[in-house]
Structure formats: C-alpha cells, structure tokens
Structure 1
Amino acid sequence: MQLNIQAGKRRKPLSLTPLIDVVFILLLFFMLTSSFIKWHNLELAVSAPSQSTSQSNESPPLLVKLNAEGKLSVSGQTFAAHDDAPLQQLLVDNTDARVILFTADEANIQLIVSTLDRLKRLGAEGVSLNTDR
C-alpha cells in the first residue's frame, strides 16, 4: 500500500520591500507635519524690590497694562496689538524709566511672553512682569 503524501505548500519568503516603503511614507508624513519653529530665549530679570526710599533721582516706572485681546494701555493711552510706532516713540521718550507689565487675568501665557518680547524689541530696557494681584 502506497501512501500519497503530498508535500505541504511552500510558503513564500516574506518580502521586506513593502515594509520599508511604509516606514519611509510614515517618516515623510511626520517630517512634513511637524513644525520647525525657531526657538529663542527671552531673558527676564527677577529682582526683589529694594527697601531704600532714596530713589528720588530715578523716574517713576512706566506702568503698562495688557488686556486679553493683546491691547496695551499706558497712562490712559491705548495701543493696538500690532501698532508699534507710537509705542516705540513712548518708550524712546522714557528711556530711563523701568517698564512694569500688568496683565489681565484672561491673558494667556503666549500673549504675555509675546508682549514682553515686543517691549524689549521696541527699546524698553528694564521690563518686568507684575505677578502680584
């Protein structure tokens, strides 16, 4: 009696070419969808308020208020979010004055940091952020 044993079907070897193609497509997708932002540092000077009362030779600080929409108000004068010329003229007129930034509770962190960077760019020397409420 003869047994008819058929050889099992031979499997084809697994090709890595489609897998490599998928990896390259994923790499291309993630490279194109990621953002390439130039990050830079913003230096903030943190100092404790001095207790001396002999500051009569210094000019009073320039109080700048930032609302939630990005508008700045200084001494009752309001500046639009991207109107730099009048704000720069005000900062040039008060070159020796410190600038203290007060923010609205609704202002987000990005708006505050952008405003600090804007004030430094326009020529304000001693910019500080008021953290007291």
Structure 2
Amino acid sequence: MQLVEPRPSRPMPIRMTPLIDVVFILLVFFMLTSRLLPVGHLELANATPDRQAADGQPLPELTVLNDGRIRWQNRTLASEALVAELVRAGITEVNVGTRPETGLGHFTQTLGQLDAAAIQSHWKRDSGTTP
C-alpha cells in the first residue's frame, strides 16, 4: 500500500506571478528608502565639537577652500606645504573644516595627506560665515 503518490515524470513549471510580485515589492521598498544625492557631494554625520588637546590648548582649525588650498592661522597655503609645516610644528591632531563650495576631491585629498603624515583629523562642517 502506497501512501504518497509518486512524483510525475515531467518537470513542474515555475509560476512567474509570485516572483514578479516579490521583485516589484523589493523595487518599491528600495525606491522609497533610498535618497538621491549629487555625486559630487559627500554628507558625513560627524559633527565634531570644538575639541581641545590633552594639554588644554585648542586644536588647530584648518579650512579647506574651494580651490584646494587650506586656510590656517589667517594664512592660505597649498596642502603639501601646510602638512609639512604642521609636522615641523609637532601638531598631531587638527580640526578640518570645509566651505560649502569645497569639492569632495579637495576634501578627501586633504584628509589623505594628513593621514599619511600621521596627523589625526576631525571633520567640522563650516557654516560659511568665516572668511
């Protein structure tokens, strides 16, 4: 006595309707949960407050300008010259600010040069009110 019917010899067709429904639901989910931002901008959620070094002195404030130069202590320098000057001064930690029009390439290049010189950097968004 056989309790289970044998499987038919021909292959069972795959029904596409449930698969299409699942794909459509996933498409709607990802469309609703994603944001479309300009490719040239990077938004970081790293609001670094004004930090102070261990000895109580405020950290140097660097501002990356839209042409790639960096403003520090009321002077504007190229990034290579500024990093060399920071290393000579023995500075190992800085706050890096950006202007609203600063490009992502200049910002990441500055962070890379600071990191290569073993200078720890903290990003601080500039409101654009400073010169």
Larger Rg: 1
